[in-house]
Structure 1
Amino acid sequence: MGKEKNPRRVAENEAMAKARMLRTSPQKLNLVAAMIRGKKVDKALSDLTFSKKRISDDVKKCLQSAIANAENNHNLDVDELIVAEAYVGKNLTMKRGRPRARGRYGRIIKPFSELTIKVRQVEEQA
């Protein structure tokens, strides 16, 4: 007697990947995620490759993971994939401090974020 199979979290023509504990603020990460939303995956990968943002390497890694999940786990065609969703969430925040003048304490917050990318297979119109 085994466990029942978990239902899929995404549709039959979709695949997903998550990147957690990315060391940047969600606001900065959302700028890079907005850059790839709705694009074909090959165009999104080239945009991330030549982006000047530091976090774009981690976003590219997450997108490549979503593409690999689509190909290997769900048998989707890589040439017909688009980035259906790319959304950002907050994660923990490290609190650090720095001594300031007159005995005061300057608070430094170091935010972490998480990124979820869903890719969807769409058939091209002739």
Structure 2
Amino acid sequence: MKQETSVVSASLNGVRTSPRKMRLIANLIRNKEIQIALDILTYSHKRRISLLFKKLLLSLLSNWKKKYDESYSEKEYLLYIKEIRVNQGKTLKRIRPVPQGRGHRIRKRSSNVLVFLEKKKEM
């Protein structure tokens, strides 16, 4: 008998924030139920990053409803974040002038975020 998997994903690419800062918030919401994760992001101190994650989770819920709208009932299943990955994106390289005619390189990092949502049966 084949087991049906119900996983939905959403991604956010090229966010102008370093992956290290994004992972701080990603670790807070990893393996949490979707509603609890949204509450955590609402009251997080890193406002800009948590707003980006909140938009991503709302997009993820929208993807879930598009795919499983007819078979989805809130009482029957709990939706949780199965996996969340934050990878490094493109790096913009800039030069900053320093004394004696030299230049130091500044790296403006960006990140790519990938989130997977899964349902688990309520016990």
| Residues 66-94 of structure 1: per-residue CA shift (max 9 Å, x gap) | 11111122334456100111111111000
Q: Is the strand fraction higher in 1 or 2?
A: 2
Distance 2:20 2:73 in 1: 32
AA partner of residue 66 (structure 1): L
The residue that corresponds to 1:3 in the other structure is none
Distance 1:29 1:48 in 2: 12
State the SS of the aligned residue for 1:102. Answer: coil
Q: Is the 8 A contact 1:77 1:121 kept in 2?
A: no
State the SS of the aligned residue for 1:56. Answer: helix
The residue that corresponds to 2:59 in the other structure is 65
Calculate the TM-score normalised by the size of structure 2. 0.87
The residue that corresponds to 2:49 in the other structure is 55
Residues 99, 14 of structure 1: alpha-carbon distance in 2 compared, 3 angstrom cutoff:
same
Structural mapping, 1:7-86, within 5 Å: 12-53=5-46, 54-75=48-69, 76-77=72-73, 80-86=78-84
Distance 2:44 2:29 in 1: 11
The residue that corresponds to 1:8 in the other structure is none
**Which stretch of the first structure deviates more once superposed, 52-61 or 113-122?**
52-61
Give 5+ residue unaligned stretches, structure 1: 1-10
Distance 1:81 1:35 in 2: 17
- Give the length in aligned residue pairs: 115
Report the identity percentage: 35
